[in-house]
Structure 1
Amino acid sequence: MSTEPRFDIIGAALADPSRSRILCEMMDGRAFTNKELACAANVTAQTASAHLKQLEAAGLTASLRSGRNVYHRISSAEVASILETLAGLSPTDHLHRAKNRNKPEVDALRARSCYNHIAGRLGVLITDQLITKGALLLQGDSASVTPEGVAFFHAIDINVLNINNTKKPAVKLCLDWTERRHHISAPLATALMDRSLEKKWLERCKASRALKITALGYEAFDRDFGISHDSLEGISLT
């Protein structure tokens, strides 16, 4: 019996454009019905059901029942992180075209949800500024929150000590697939996205992972993080 990992099962699950679109829809961290995912992938509900069965069998998604509805979501934060990393290997020609033609899709390059944290240009700039401010300490490929960071997050109503009460790290680095640089993930990053949505700094967009930066958000990210409006508009693609 072979002890090698079954990459063929994962590869087969990913090797379909409709299943790829379904996974991308789920990457905003929420759970969706079969009908919603069928719409996102532009397939019938029956076809979406078949795709979802294969994705769940591969361990990429999970389903849960609530009342009469069944909802589907990415199975874990670890799976979401792997999918984001795989996205970094994918071609970006379509992103360059979207940017150059100022298409609506470019909004997701500026700010989007990566499962349960902020990604895109905003996510990378937040990470850069936290490091510059001494709120995060980098050690190789890992990061930790400094005492200055605890005070910084406390000022925006995020209690790092409450977050960091498990054996899991409060913050990790996640390679951003459009910026090709790191943004933060793990519980601290989740708390930051939740706080940003609560404070109306960010708003979710319909049928997209894009996060709209509100007028309040531009003001807050400039005031608290030192991220200017112009730097957020300067979306980069490598």
Structure 2
Amino acid sequence: MRHQPASGAASGPQCDSPGLRHHVLFAEADPARRHSLYRAYLRPWLDRPNLTVLTGALVHRVVFDGRRATGVEILLRLRSADPLAPLAIEAGFLSDPADMTTARACVELCRALGNAPAFRPFVRGEAMPGPLKGDALDLYIRDAAVTYWHQSCTARMGRDKMSVVDATLKAYGVDGLRVADASIMPRVTTGNTQAPCAIIGERAAGMIRQEHGA
């Protein structure tokens, strides 16, 4: 990970490049200084022989030996022969028809609210997307939609048939596999996901140490 310079704001030109910019904390005493969770949690342990840290990698599948998870396969797509060029990551955004249905409903709701009579004293007019429908609206959504790095809830904790992990973060039906990131949240938090992810990692570390007597 590159060093993140001090900045007067969380969003700025220094953030317009690949990197793990969302993994930062702001100190109250110095709100312009960025504090990296990488430096706090990972860098002190990088010399451990059983720890591998990869960024810019997409997990393709979990490797099993019977019921036991023994590793993961990652998918790395190179953009060019330049080893310093950012990797190409295909996250599959809007690849499911339900994604587009939801996004379309959100746009229509926002347009209805913004154009409501109650907002007329405060709104001069709609800037975009305008009265688009059908394929034209879908094209606008695909061109305009961006991620805010809050992907979560895809391996949620719980006890129902849709849950993936239990209260100790162990994957149901699999030995030797815990999940400790935003995917285990039953619902996305109303605030930034960075702090909850740090707590999830802390809890996972505590449970693993307790189980294995470290």
Do they fold alike, i.e. is TM over 0.5?
no
**Structure possessing the higher relative contact order (Cα contacts under 8 Å, 6 or more residues apart):** 1
Q: Computing the radius of gyration over CA atoms, which structure comes out larger, 1 or 2?
A: 2
**Which structure has more helix as a fraction of its residues?**
1
Provide the TM-score with structure 2 as the length reference: 0.25
Q: Write 1 or 2 for the structure with the bigger share of strand.
A: 1
TM-score of the two chains, using structure 1 as the length reference? 0.23
